[in-house]
Amino acid sequence: MHLEVWPGNVYPLGSFWDGKGTNFALFTENATAVEVCLFDKDGNEKRIPLSEYDNRVWHCYIPGVAPGQRYGFRVHGPYDPSQGHRFNPNKLLIDPYAKAIDGDVVNGPELFGYSWEDPAQDLSFSELDSAHLIPKSVVIDESFDWEGDTLLRTPFHESIIYEVHVKGFTQLQPNMPEELRGTYAGLAHPASIAHLQSLGITAVELMPVHHFLSYPGHLLDKGLKNYWGYDSINYFAPYSGYSCDRTPGGQVREFKEMVKALHKAGIEVILDVVYNHTGEGNHKGPTLSFRGVDNAAYYQLSPDDRRYYMDFTGCGNTLNVGHPQILKLIMDSLRYWVLECHVDGFRFDLASALARELFYVDSLASFFTIIHQDPVLADVKLIAEPWDVGEGGYQVGNFPLLWSEWNGRYRDVMRDFWRGEDNSLGEFAYRLTGSSDLYQTNGRSPYASINFITAHDGFTLYDLVSYNEKHNEANGEGNADGESHNRSWNCGVEGDTDDPEVLALRERQKRNFLVTLFLSQGVPMLVYGDEMERTQKGNNNAYCQDNEISWINWEFPQEKADLLNFVRQLIFFRRKHPVFQRRKWFQGRPIHGRTISDIVWFNPDGSEMSDEQWNDGFAKSIGVFLNGEEIPRVGRQGQRIIDESFLLFFNAYWEMLEFKLPEGIENREWQVVIDTKESDFIEDGPIFTDGKAVPVTGRSIVLLRRLP
């Protein structure tokens, strides 16, 4: 069929349907020619040369090309890896701006720009065509009926984040149609939303949903899959493998329906985004998109030999965020997900890599500067994973205003405290109160700290108290992958056991971690399934386990239901009491003309902590008074906020200790609300006053509230 080809426009990049035809535009500063390739339903290809080139963008407009059209690009130019150029028109390329991608990459030698069999390796040139192995980009209709939906804008200090994998959360869910399991539609199903609402979470943080490389060669050979999805090959298209709707472009509509349903339930959607690297890997990786469009522009290359890549991510390459067009790509992607898909925020994987202008991490890097002035992104949640694998990459506490951070120091300190390691109580106190030592000096608030005990990367909560060592044999790497220093404790037996004392201790330790997490200042994050004792059997790096190792098992015995009920009570307890979700820092002094401070720390004997005791690594027990009448923030209408007051007794020592009520509040009545030796909140708990000591079991927490 003959197609008219008009000049078209340089903007917007990618494919854009205007109701009559489609504009195609591709940025590449070093290419010599570009073809857009249209595919019919039988896979037949029609190549159309782009003759227009302006501002380093090749473009055209084709009347009659409509939504559902499958396409790709072929880009001509020098093949000179030593100079950073890897153009090869034999390789069909995914549009970097594609809003939908149909299918997955299929492995084969045709994907590579070089010949596998040539001794010169990646310096050789492959003439094999890859079109039959490459998923096709899809022209979409961007219109959608949002029915008045807007961003929820839940205040950050009131947020409860639930890190969740779209497939792992729903794949075994028995209360939904089988075809919806493992999909965006499954996450939007009433059964899923009912569970999320019953927990009281305010936001789901979705593990990567940008279209990613599902079957990299090193996993395919082992019969495994890229389950986590941290190998993006596009930053606009929702991963089609999570879509129940298999029509080309259908995943976009399904994703938007999911967001709309979650918003109606009062739940924000935060995306885990991977702008630091792509799934194309190192110099021996496949040519799927960016490498073939313009390798020298999209990636940071070694200044000593541009054949090789700078790798601050451990994944073979690092995106060249210092290039204006690549920075624009990221910003366009972020704005697209907010404006067109109503996403409420982002968690940036290995965010330190984005701050690298050259080889060092710069808190004033272009990426942060441009985000700070962007009117769309200034009003969404921005969360950094504040590290990468390069030198100087651990940057916890060093991100600028507007940013919150996964607080890795919180995780480490709390794990060490509850497994009985020697550590200063001062460090514990900082983490419990929002980590002011990390975030206060540059003007940030307690909610800059995203607190977590577990995350997708590492042990689940169940495994944290059941294993001393990783057990990653199923990954096929001889148990060499994954973190070896987990700060875990198996409570005396490695793995499964029927010893009642060990099992009781493990359950108590889980409750200790959970109570500590949800009663700390900052924003708590719970990983999916921890509330139902999900286990990965000691696998702390289940990135390739798309199976029961990683999926939630929704059919569980009563003892698992006990923990679920406890978590639900705990989250709603936190949400009810503003003293646990402060917007401002503790001041350690009276605020509203009272005689008692907003926070007081004390020893088990009731005396206040001395300077020397804060640094005593042998101390395992501490008490804290939280004054609900000394909250320095006001409500949304300017009203003063007053809450109940609480005492928290933390005893990480292995024997029972008696805590005395501290001076100044000992004459008030205090009632036990939580005792982690019990599997449930305590109704009408015992009351303590006037010198009566509070017994706190070894390795447990007791929370008391002050009676009127």
The conformation of residue 587, written as its DSSP 8-state character, comes to -
Which ranges of 93-229 would DSSP assign to H, the alpha helix?
Answer: 166-170, 184-187, 190-199, 217-220
Weakest mean pLDDT among 41-55, 420-434, 606-620 = 606-620
45-49, 71-75, 131-135, 627-631: range with lowest mean pLDDT: 627-631
pLDDT at 641 over 60: yes
Amino acid at residue number 149: D
**604-609 long-range contacts, Cβ below 8 Å, gap at least 24?**
604/649, 604/651, 604/657, 604/658, 604/659, 604/660, 605/660, 606/659, 606/660, 606/661, 606/662, 606/663, 606/666, 607/662, 608/662, 609/425
What pLDDT is attached to residue 594? 54
Report cis status (omega within 30 of 0) of the bond before 604.
Answer: no
Buried b (16+ CB within 10 A) or exposed e, 506-515: bbbbbbbbbb
Supply the pLDDT for residue 591: 47
Separation between Cα atoms, residue 143 and residue 140, nearest integer Å: 9
What pLDDT was estimated at residue 691?
A: 75
Which listed residue (122, 385, 463, 630) is catalytic? 385
HSE-CB of 348 using CA atoms within 13 angstroms: 28
In the chain, what is the straight-line distance between the N-terminal and C-terminal CA atoms, in Å?
82
Cα–Cα distances (Å) from 47 to 17, 26, 34, 294, in that order, read: 19, 15, 10, 20
Mean pLDDT within 143-158: 97
Each residue's pLDDT tens digit, 56-87: 999 999 999 999 999 999 999 999 999 999 99
Active-site residue flag, 608 = no
User: Do the beta carbons of residue 546 and residue 225 sit within 8 Å?
Assistant: yes
Give the residue among 328, 307, 389 at the shortest CA–CA distance from 356: 389
Does the pLDDT at position 595 exceed 70? no
Q: State the average pLDDT over residues 98-105.
A: 97
What pLDDT was estimated at residue 592? Answer: 46
Mean pLDDT of the chain: 95
What does the chain come to in residues?
A: 708
Distance of CA 221 to the CA centre of its chain: 28
Comparing 135-139, 399-403, 661-665, which segment has the lowest mean pLDDT?
661-665
**Mean pLDDT (whole number) for 224-253:** 97
Answer whether 315's CB lies under 8 Å from 321's CB. no
CA–CA dist 592, 641 (Å, integer): 12
Note if 349 is an active site residue.
yes
For residue 549, pLDDT beyond 60: yes
Q: How far, in Å, are 45, 102, 635 from residue 61 at the CA level?
A: 18, 22, 53
Q: In 3D, which of 287, 271, 269, 268 has the Cα closest to residue 279?
A: 287
Task: Assess contact for 616 and 603: CB atoms under 8 A.
Answer: no
Q: Distance between alpha carbon 626 and the CA centroid of its chain, in Å?
A: 31
Give yes or no for residue 228 having a pLDDT over 70.
yes
Dist. CA 123–CA 80, nearest whole Å: 8
Which stretch of DSSP H or E encloses residue 513? helix 500-518
- Transcribe 435-476 into DSSP letters: -HHHHTTTT--GGGEEE-S--SSS--HHHHTT-SS---GGGS
pLDDT at 593 over 70: no
Q: Where are the beta strands (DSSP E) in 558-665?
A: 599-602, 621-626, 646-651, 657-659
pLDDT of residue 267: 98
Catalytic residue among 45, 294, 349, 533: 349
> What is the per-residue pLDDT across 447-469, written as a single tens digit (0 to 9) for each?
999 999 999 999 999 999 999 99
Task: List the beta bridge partners of residue 79.
Answer: 86
> pLDDT tens for residues 390-446?
888 899 999 999 999 999 999 999 999 999 998 889 999 999 999 999 999 989 999
Q: Smallest Cα–Cα separation from 659: which of 668, 671, 647?
A: 647
Q: Say yes or no to pLDDT of 110 above 90.
A: yes
How high is the pLDDT of residue 361?
Answer: 77
Per mean pLDDT, which range of 467-481, 604-618, 691-705 is the poorest?
604-618
**Top-confidence residue, 664 or 382:** 382
**pLDDT band, very low/low/confident/very high, at 590 (cuts 50, 70, 90):** low
- DSSP helix/strand/coil, 675: strand
Dihedral sign, CA of 404, 251, 460, 268?
A: positive
CA distance 285 to 270: 30
Q: Which residues contact 683 (CB under 8 A, 6 or more apart)?
A: none
- Whether the per-residue pLDDT at 634 is higher than 80: the answer is no
The separation between CA 69 and the C-alpha centre of its own chain, rounded to angstroms, equals: 33
Does 180 score more than 60 pLDDT?
Answer: yes
Residues above pLDDT 90, as percent of the chain = 87
Q: What band does 589 get if pLDDT is binned at 50, 70 and 90?
A: low
Phi and psi (nearest 5°) for 412? -65, -45
| One-letter-per-residue 3-state SS of 287-346 | CCCHHHHHHHHHECECCCCCCCECCCCCCCCCECCCCHHHHHHHHHHHHHHHHCCCCCEE
Q: What is the pLDDT of residues 674-702, one digit of tens each?
A: 999 999 999 999 999 987 899 999 999 99
Q: What is the mean pLDDT of residues 563-569?
A: 97
How far apart are alpha carbons 116 and 678 in whole angstroms?
61
